[in-house]
Amino acid sequence: MTTTSEIGWRGLKIVGFIGIVGAIALSQTCVQAQITPDTTLGSENSVVTPNVVINGTASDRIDGGAIRSTNLFHSFQEFNIDAGRGAYFSNPAGIENILSRVTGNNPSNILGTLGVLGNANLFLINPNGIIFGQGASLDIQGSFVASTADRIQLGDSGYFNATEPQQSSLLAVTPGALFFNQVASQPGNIINTGNLAVGKNLTLSADNLNLQGQLLAGENLILQANDTVQVRDSVVNPFIAAAGGKLLVQGQAIDIFALNHANSGLFAGKDLVLRANTIGGDAHFWSGGNFRIEQLDGSLGDWYSLYDPIIFVAGDLFFNDYVGTSLHILAGGSVIVPGTIAIMDADTASTSIAEDITLSDGTVLPIDGSDRPTLDIRAGVDPAIVSSPDGIAVIGSGLFFGGEYETNPSSADISIGNIIIDPPDGVVYLTNQYQPNLSLTSANIKIIGEGFSRIGAEFQKLGIDARGIGGNGSSVVLDSRGSIFLNQNASINSSSDMSQSGDIRLITNEQISLGSKSSVTSFSDFGKEGDISLNANEIQLAPFASILASGDGGDIQIQGNRLLMQEFSQIVATTTGTEAGGSIFIQANDSIRIDGGNIFTFVGLFGSPQTSGDGGGITIKTGDLSITGTALFVGEPFPNGFRTGGDITSDTLGSGDAGTVTIDARQVRLTNGAQIRASTLSTGNAGDVIIRASESVEVSGLSSDDNFFVSKIASQVNSGATGTGGDVLIETKQRLTVSDGAQIQAGTFGSGSGGSLTVNATQSIDISDTVIDDNPTGLFTGPEGAGASGTGGDLTVTTGQLSMIGGETNISSEVNFEASGNAGDLLIEISRLVIGNGGRISAATFGTGQGGNLTVKASESINLLGVDNTTEDTDSSSLSTATFGGGNAGNLTIQTGLLSVRDGAIVSAATLGQGNAGSLRIDATESIEVRGRFADGLLPSELSTAVGSDATGQGGDLSIVTRQLTVQEGGQISASTSGNGRGGNIDIQAGSVRLSDRAQINASSQQQGNAGSITINADNLIESTNSDILTFADQASGGEIAITAQDIRLRGDSDIQTNVASGTGGGGNITLTANSILAFDDSDILAFAQDGRGGNIALNTPVFFGENFQPAALNSDPSTLDGNNRVDINASGAVAGVVDIPDVSFIQNSLTELPANLTNTETLVANSCVARSRNQAGSFLITGAGGLPSRPGEQAASTYSTGSVRSVPDTSSRTWQLGDRIVEPQGAYRLSNGRLILSRECS
């Protein structure tokens, strides 16, 4: 857009310039003007009339000359004006241009006033030079051109020539270009110490320009030299070059120093251009248009300043390189610097800018270029601010410019190749947020990084080099209304090799983009590191881009709505000394997406564990956090070996503690080997990992290469480390999903103790594994790896529903092989638990350390499903505690409403080593179901405690409390020993117990260990159909069986048995106590000992029935008692046991066999009735089975039948036929023989 603003202090309408310039000392001695016409114009020679008072000044009036249309030509041998005098050219009517030349050999000395008596433009060329003295002035309403050129071009081929006047062509065309004699022996220079002001254009053109006074043009001002333009001011006399239009300064070289006077400067109402191959610009510049620094070919140029350059530009600013002291730029438009800005020192001028600037985030930044080396660039500034900068509002002795300027800024962008702050403790401030012009929609800051910057005495590619070499690093602030871009390979570096590094702050409302391999770094070897902060709507880090704060105490803070990190990009805070390291804080309200990038803090250098400072923490707050791992290694050693992309980690390599990792998000998602981890590799303690999600947490998969980095959330003590592991806490209001090799872990691989792992998911936890490999998926704590002696932390899981599906899904607290540390306890508190296809929850020790306890509390149900035929999983689902080494296993406790163990699933407490197995206690308020076998049909579903074949430890006890216990289809409840340790006991307290289809409750011993006992107490029925309750010992004593119930029923081939196959061990006793014990078919009760004393059998019951029961010989082989289709009770052995059964002879002959021909219901009376006798007595009907008679005067009805049971003869006829109506009985009637029938009275 076009911006129009009043320029109160330098619009270029000249009003009464003579009065402005001030009174000229009229007391000076008047000297006749040295103006001598030559004869080159013949009869049209110039005519000089001396001593004409013009505007109060004794002057020479110049008349005559050659008129050609609108051009008037004059030619002089000499042209000089003495001090205090004037020289005026007459301006005949119709004349627009007055062209004058000096053909003599002397320069012109203009010490007084040169003017035109009219509005014509004046040209003065003198190839020998022109000197405007200190009292020189102009009284010209039009334009003025002063030049040491030898000729002025007229048209296409004409010239007005001063060195060869005879070659001139006096043409009636507009004057054009100036031509210089390139082989002149003496250069023609222009020197100005006066005050030259014109109403229109002012041009000074010479071989060299030496300018010290004031130059004011109502329109354009051109200062052009074939060689050098030199500008100087003094403490008393300012240098001012002011143009109402464009201002051009051009030469082979430009040398400007105009800082001695507060009013000095170069000012243009429109564009300002400095054009030269070498430009020195110690001055204040102001442009109402654009400002360009160019080379002679028009490309962007370089410039330098040794003192205090200040640039105010209403439009856009362009230059290539700058080297010098503090630089201040206020631009209404953009600032484009593709090269390098190198600030070598603070400025020394008293006119420098010093102010406190409030940044867009509300913080204050002090700016003082004289105090600190400063680069201060403000783009897109409101035009009202640019038009009236402080300190240079007055020109000369009270000259104010009134008028308007127009400009068209393209944008508020800042684009810079490189920035160097050479001395320590400087400031870089780039902004388009300072008093912004909001009509400019594009307002980005871009650091290109294609120039060069220091590394020692050499130069390498960089972006902003604000390092403090030998001192503090410089501060860097980029405050943008648009985006901030750091190009590929560009960097911002405020490090220090000896002291404190500088702060870096990037602020924008839009995007911060760090290009590939770009970096933002604040590093200090010996002092406090500076802070790095990025505040934007969106922050993007391209591949290998990095943000690094290294040293002592420098923080990294990133705030915005979105953060995107691409592969191998990094955000890093480290400490290598004794002070605490900096922390990383990231808040992205919408999302953080890390596609292979890394965020980490660490303590110490790799291989140098002496660092004692604590590491900083990592805090992340966002909506959605998504982290994806990469398939490649970063080719640089980091903690834990080589690092892949996709990590958030806090590590310590020294004695200092690692920081805590805290994540608060709506959703957290880790895939493809991504990790969130805190660890210690030395004596320092690992940090905690805390993740809170208002919705869900998902951890899934492995890295896609052969290195198999798993997606993981962990705090761990690495191998060889002695520090303590941190805790891991995960809280989510909805779901936690862990799948396909992913892990959540708090472990120790060293001598330091591992931290605890706590998971709280309000709705559900889903752990699944659809990838068939050897990578476990799930939640883990405990000592891991050879030599790990640290104690494992506890593992606590709380959720609504816990689902574990797949052969490698695990929740475990374990001491791994060759580890000596103890495992922590495992607590599961849920509403529902589902484990299928090989999933397992375990607390185990594979080493010498003690196993942890496993407690599962499920308020509703636990369902363990083995492996079905649709999966390739080969391990059974399980809940277990175990020891495989010298440590004792922990106890397994289950509390639930309903427990279902099916299809080969296992609930067990076992020892396979020297340690003792833990106990198994199950309390299910509703029911327990153990059902079926593994997919191969071999392994049963099982509740068990066990001692393995090579184990010497003692088996644990198994205790069950439930309302309903059901074991069927090959399921088992078992306490076994296959080693030298004693088998555990089984204790069952239930409302009722049902066994069917080859189910078992057994306590067995296959080696030297004694078998455990079985105790069952049921409030109601114990029923076994084709199932067994047994204890068994190959070589040791058999366990006892004690069963107490209201009723016991044995059906099919159901056995209650104790057995010692060999050795002198006694068979276990069997004690059955019930109101009734009924055994049918081939059910047996046996207590057998091959070489020892048979166990005693006691049936404590008032009612016992054994189908076809016949006492067998006490030396009977048990195998002969099975399959004989009768009930056997036997206590055989080398010494027979005692069999105590009740006397049931009173019912042996009271059972009558039913006839083979059953009653044919079709022959029953369907329409019969009862005819009453003529007894007129009333009747009284009784229903029920009480002791009253059916009718008054009759005997009470007998409880027992008084007749024999008979069938209806096959030959009996029936009156009722199929299809007849069936008449329902109306009551019970006694017949004359005493029988009771259901019938109705005949009508």
DSSP string, 686-725: PPPEEEEEEEEEEEE-B-SSTT-PBPEEEEEEPTT--SPP
Whole-angstrom Cα distance, residue 1108 to residue 1118?
17
Residues 6+ apart with CB under 8 A from 825: 794, 795, 813, 843, 852, 853, 854, 855, 890
Burial level of 487, CB count in 10 A (0-12/13-18/19+)?
buried
Q: In this structure, how many other beta carbons lie within 10 angstroms of the beta carbon of residue 829? A: 16
Give the H or E element holding residue 755.
none
Burial level of 1135, CB count in 10 A (0-12/13-18/19+)?
middle
Whole-angstrom Cα distance, residue 1185 to residue 1205?
21
Residues in the chain: 1243
H-helix segments, 133-281: none
Contact yes or no for 128/205 (Cβ under 8 A): no
Enter the tokens of residue 1217. 């036929």
Q: Give average pLDDT by consecutive 10-residue segment, the chain, 1243 residues.
A: 31 29 32 77 93 94 93 94 96 94 94 96 94 96 92 78 75 62 64 95 94 94 95 94 93 94 89 94 90 95 88 92 91 90 83 85 88 90 70 35 60 88 87 89 82 44 76 85 86 78 87 90 74 92 89 84 93 76 90 92 61 77 93 49 74 76 96 87 80 95 74 80 80 93 81 82 91 79 65 88 90 73 86 92 78 92 80 74 79 95 90 82 96 84 84 84 96 85 89 95 81 92 95 78 95 90 75 95 88 84 89 73 87 82 65 53 55 52 49 52 50 59 70 70 68
Distance of CA 457 to the CA centre of its chain: 39
- What pLDDT score does 977 carry? 78
| Cα separations in angstroms, 599 against 674, 675, 692 | 11, 10, 18
pTM recorded for the entire structure:
0.78
| Cα separations in angstroms, 951 against 741, 939, 974 | 32, 21, 17
